[in-house]
Amino acid sequence: MNLKDILELIDKVADRNIGLVEIEQAGVRVRIEGRSPQPAAAAPGAESRGASFEPAGAPLPPATPSPGRDAQPAAPPEDDTDPAWHIVTSPIVGTFYRASNPESEIFVNVGDRVTKGKVLCIIEAMKLMNEIESDIDGVIARIYPQNGQPIEYGERLFAVRI
């Protein structure tokens, strides 16, 4: 995704009143927040939308309800306490990889629809590549670790929105 794609996406998000879009590609997560309800007098524009870029796996700030949101139907909370988010955790200690090798295609990105049994990542332990499958159908909402990051037993790997 280049700068032009990102700018187009920002415009689409703004035009369609989409609250939030997160896209992850090549290890970089793009988070684009759409127009939040503003008081009628508030000037539209830069303050009402924005895009942030951060390395994949970096914790996102918790979604805090803004006063403006009270006037709208409640947006789903964007964190793993949401019952609609199923968390896939690591069954072993090892190293997290998003592709079977550096030349291969990444298994999944945020926003991808996955079915039960779909391989999500590899955890390497002692040169054994363990393919970790999704245990549920849904959409990848978040990828917690960065590629190549050491992982502990039970650590969060993915949030799947069901």
Partner 1 sequence: MRELDIDALAARLTVIESIALIPRVTSTHDLARTIVAECLENELPPPAAALVALEQSAGRGRGARSWSSPANGGIYSTTIHSLPATELSLYPLHMGNVVATFLRQEYGIEAGLKWPNDILVGGRKIAGVLLEARTQEGTSHLLISIGINVVALSDERAANATSIADEAGRREPLLGQAIAAFLEFLDQRLARAHVAASILPLWRDLAVHGDGDRVTSIIGDRAINGLWRGIDDNGHALIESNGEIVAVSAGDVIIQ
CB 140 within 8 A of CB 121: no
Please pick, from the candidates 45, 129, 154, 162, the single residue that binds partner 1 as defined by CB under 8 A.
129
Helical segments of the chain, H only: 3-15
| Number of amino acids touching partner 1 (CB under 8 A) | 24
The alpha carbons of the chain give a radius of gyration, in whole angstroms, of 17
**Is 84 among the residues that bind partner 1 (CB under 8 A)?**
no
Indicate the residue among 48 and 95 with the shorter CB distance to partner 1: 95
Sheet holding 85-89, edge to edge: 85-89, 156-161, 138-143, 113-114
Please pick, from the candidates 38, 48, 100, 109, the single residue that binds partner 1 as defined by CB under 8 A.
100
Q: How far is CA 60 from CA 49, 85, 108, 125, 128, in A?
A: 17, 15, 19, 28, 31
Stretch that binds partner 1, among 45-53, 56-64, 74-82, 115-123 (CB under 8 A): 115-123
Please pick, from the candidates 34, 57, 94, 138, the single residue that binds partner 1 as defined by CB under 8 A.
94
Contact footprint for partner 1 (CB under 8 A): 91-95, 100-103, 117, 119, 122, 124-131, 133, 148-150
